[in-house]
Amino acid sequence: MHSFKLMRGRLCALYFLQFAVWGCYLTCLGQFLGRVGLGRDISWFYSAAGLVSLFMPALAGYLADRRFGPSRLLASFHFIAACFMLSAWSYVRSAQSVEFLPLFIIYVLFLCFFMPTIPLANTLTFSILGLRGMNAAEAFPRIRFFGTVGFIAAMWFVNCAYLHDGTFGMTLSDANPMARWRFQYTDMMLFSSGIIGVITSLFVLTFSVTGNQSRRKRYVAPEDSFVSRWLGGFMLLKNRNLRIFLIFAILGGVCLQITNGFATPFITHFSSQPEYDGSGAAANATMLFSLSQISEAACILLIPFFLRRYGFRVVLTVSFLAWALRFALFGWGNPGDGLWMFVASMLVYGVAFDFFNIAGAIYMEQNAGAGYRGRAQGILMMMSNGIGATFGMVWAGAVVNAFCNWRQIDGMRYFIGDWSAVWMIFGAYALALAVAFPLLFRRN
């Protein structure tokens, strides 16, 4: 029992670091791109994560199952991803004018190695839990909880930290002359992410023995044919409910990156309006957005109860309803008397995200054989964060750019337009999913 508690603590630390890499930039990258003149390309940077997820997580899952074990790949991928992120920071820092293509290529290379680390960490964790006879549905959410804590800690740091002319400090106020140099607006978010990535890679090396043991004992897939060797995970599609779920994983994946890409530019744009000048919420969009991750951390712990009590069909339906409500509250709210709607939208996010992602990962784990764990997680990632998120962000970018545009005001760039219409379109889409899913998915 003592050894398991120690291992669980190490897994919690792994998730903390891994998601801190993501938290440094994911929700504020849109603001940074807008400030360097690439605001109309936000959707392409966020859809890139989906494009990479079409093939890299599934390939990594196969390699973890059949070749190297999850821990070796996880350490290697984190280190290579960190090198590319630091290269992106170096390019932005040295370029006189930031161009789309060079930055986009470096960022895509970063994603090629970072995105697979998410299912690889899940695979490693499920393997260790299985090796010790633990119930994954009960133990995994408590471990994954610390990933959200790491994401939040990173968001708070980049929201407050600034560095300019050798001066480092922390501030929440736009009145501070250093406020415009906070990491949430500058290339320092990339630097922070890269450094934490290097630390994560080194930490994962401590799992090498456990990971290799797990691979030898648990990751032995049958070698019946070329198809079962490379695409064995897709054999799971013989199950009708799994097919329906993965279709809705694609459709639901459309929602995953929308607020990550556009929420902070949306909230920040209120600072350009006189009635919200000096608004603490508009000036600290990244920290306000972190309420979403706090909600996510709390809701992770609710998943085992809801899965036992109501089943997977109800849990995923509630997720789609929560996405619809999240988008609608953004459309109705503002940083003034409508701030409570922003806060409510952030709190709803925990249900929307966790009931879709975490419950989905558990559902795939429960329906995959021991030899297909890595590929099952990779397939889910490919469907939701791959196909769904890619086409979702391209569509979302077209919608946002049709209603909004970047404008220079008092030396700062803001994304201004009819945001209410934008959020209502997204909300209507999510509501349609909430109606369709329970009609098509059989009771589990």
Q: DSSP readout, 26-50?
A: TTTHHHHHHHTT-GGGHHHHHHHHH
- Note the helical H segments in 132-187: 136-160
63, 121, 309 from 116: Cα distances, Å = 11, 9, 32
* Residue type (1 letter), 169: G
End-to-end CA distance of the chain: 33
Tokens standing for residue 241: 């409910």
Residue 413 pairs in a beta bridge with 408
* Residue type (1 letter), 211: G
How far is 157 from 86, CA to CA, in rounded Å?
18
Tokens standing for residue 259: 């607020």
Per-residue pLDDT of the chain in tens (444 residues, 90 and over written 9):
556 677 888 889 999 999 999 999 998 999 899 989 998 999 999 888 778 867 665 666 666 565 556 677 888 999 999 999 999 999 999 988 999 999 999 999 999 999 888 878 887 887 777 776 666 667 777 888 899 889 999 999 999 999 988 889 998 877 788 888 899 999 999 999 999 999 999 998 887 544 444 444 443 444 444 345 445 555 666 667 778 888 899 999 899 889 988 999 999 999 888 888 777 888 888 889 989 888 988 887 788 888 888 888 899 999 999 999 999 999 999 998 999 999 999 999 999 998 988 888 888 877 765 556 666 777 787 788 788 888 899 999 999 999 999 988 877 888 999 999 999 999 999 999 999 999 998 765
How far is 108 from 1, CA to CA, in rounded Å?
42
How far is 140 from 154, CA to CA, in rounded Å?
22
Question: Which residues fall within 8 angstroms of residue 176, CB to CB, at 6 or more apart?
Answer: none
Contact in structure between 178 and 164 (CB atoms under 8 Å): yes
- The 10 Å CB-count burial string (b at 16+, else e) for 200-234 is bbebbeebeebbeebbeebbebeeeeeebeeebbb
321-324 contacts: CB < 8 A, separation 24 or more? Answer: 321/430, 321/431, 321/434, 322/348, 322/349, 322/351, 322/352, 322/355, 323/252, 323/255, 323/352, 323/356, 323/427, 323/430, 323/433, 323/434, 324/427, 324/428, 324/430, 324/431, 324/434
Question: Which residues fall within 8 angstroms of residue 95, CB to CB, at 6 or more apart?
Answer: 102
Q: Which of 380, 265, 276, 239 is nearest to 330 (CA)?
A: 265
**Full set of structural domains in the chain with CATH:** 2-440 (1.20.1250.20)
How far is 336 from 385, CA to CA, in rounded Å?
34
3-class secondary structure, 95: coil
For strands 404-409 and 161-164, give the pairing. unpaired
- The 10 Å CB-count burial string (b at 16+, else e) for 113-123 is bbbbbbbbbbb
Residue 416 pairs in a beta bridge with 405
pTM of the model: 0.80
